[in-house]
Amino acid sequence: MTADVNAPAPQTDAPLLALRGVGKRFANAVTALDGLDMEVRQGEFLSLLGPSGCGKSTALRLIAGLSEPSEGRLDWHGEEQARRAAGQPSIGFVFQEPTLMPWASVFGNVHLPLKLAGIGRREAEPAIAEALELVGLSGFRDAYPRELSGGMKMRVSIARALVTKPRLLLMDEPFAALDEITRFKLNNDLLDVWRRLGCTIVFVTHSVFESVYLSSRILVFRARPGRVVAELAIDPNQPRDEAFRTSPEYAGLCRETSQALARAMDPR
């Protein structure tokens, strides 16, 4: 496969997951989500955008199955529904921090999800090599996390999420702690990975510019209680590159998204 920003995006309209009337209250009586209705479609790059405390990360954790909704339900569709019925959900998760095991090499860290599934070093080696190649870290398999820069650690974290070839990749503000230059580079590489693998990505962010650059669809969240207040679609076949980043269309979309976000943050 070759990297090509003009390759068709892997999107269809088939639903993958629907959240219906989902609410989440924590033990300390904080209501993170209330009456959340949203859909994730097969093959799309969906961004959840909103101010901090709007419950977008909570929604992502519910989708991952890391916590249970207090009310409402999650309906899975198609292939993923069958996989879940068999107890084998196909999900990759990338946290805000790289969350690597400091005692393991890059190879060991990327191996982890396969190791936990009972796949040994030798058997897992091709999948690990492929995942490292996808994030451009083939030469660093024996390095330890402390020897890597912040951006490289995040690449390892993404390779670890991709090593099981998940159909759904969940990312919780993965680039928020990186400098802008590294973030732009990782944005492009992530889009490349998305096109090559044809997976579905749900991406949590608080950056308007990042969400517009990456997404084929943006859901804008409001806080207290968290729910979706606006939806923006962006042509997925629009090439995403430096020309797009500096184009009037991009600026227009950013303005539109910012206004939706401003309305979401309006106290009324």
Q: How many residues does the chain have?
A: 268
Binding track, positions 163-202, relative to another protein; x by CB under 8 A: ----------------------------------------
Which residue in the set 33, 91, 228, 261 belongs to the binding site for another protein (CB under 8 A)?
91
85 lies in the site for another protein, by CB under 8 A? no
Binding mask 221-240 for another protein (x = CB under 8 A): --------------------
Minimum distance between the CB of residue 237 and another protein, rounded to whole angstroms? Answer: 32
- Nearest residue (CB) to another protein, 144 versus 244: 144
Phi, psi (5° rounding) for residue 147? -85, -5
Does residue number 252 form part of the binding site for another protein (CB under 8 A)? no
Binding of another protein at residue 145 (CB under 8 A)? yes
243 binds another protein (CB under 8 A): no
Per CB under 8 A, which region of 47-55, 99-107, 202-210, 233-241 contacts another protein?
99-107
| Cα–Cα distance measured from residue 201 to residue 91, given in angstroms and rounded to the nearest whole number | 10
Nearer of residues 171 and 228 to another protein, judged by Cβ: 171
Q: Scanning residues 40 to 69, which ones bind another protein (CB under 8 A)?
A: 64-66
- List the beta strands (DSSP E) in 61-216: 71-76, 91-94, 168-172, 200-205
The Cα angle at residue 227 between residues 211 and 238, in degrees rounded to 5: 25
Per CB under 8 A, the list member of 83, 84, 95, 258 interacting with another protein is 95
For residue 13, the Cα-to-chain-centroid distance in whole angstroms is: 18
* The pairing of beta strand 45-49 with beta strand 15-25: unpaired
- 99 versus 187: smaller Cβ distance to another protein: 99
Give the contacts of 231 (CB within 8 A, at least 6 positions apart).
217, 218, 219, 220
Which of 86, 116, 242, 266 forms a contact with another protein (CB under 8 A)?
A: 116
Give the chain's end-to-end CA distance (angstroms, integer). 50
* 90-98, 179-187, 214-222, 230-238 -> range binding another protein (CB under 8 A): 90-98
Answer whether the bond into residue 225 is a cis peptide, omega within 30°.
Answer: yes
- Beta strands across the sheet bearing 168-172: 91-94, 168-172, 200-205, 45-49, 217-222, 227-233
**CA torsion through residues 157, 162, 164, 170, sign:** positive
* Smallest gap from residue 95 Cβ to another protein (A): 5
Task: Check residue 244 for interaction with another protein (CB under 8 A).
Answer: no
HSE, CB side, 13 Å, CA atoms: give it for residue 179. 5
Binding site for another protein (CB under 8 A): 64-66, 91, 93, 95, 97, 99, 101-104, 112-113, 115-117, 144-146
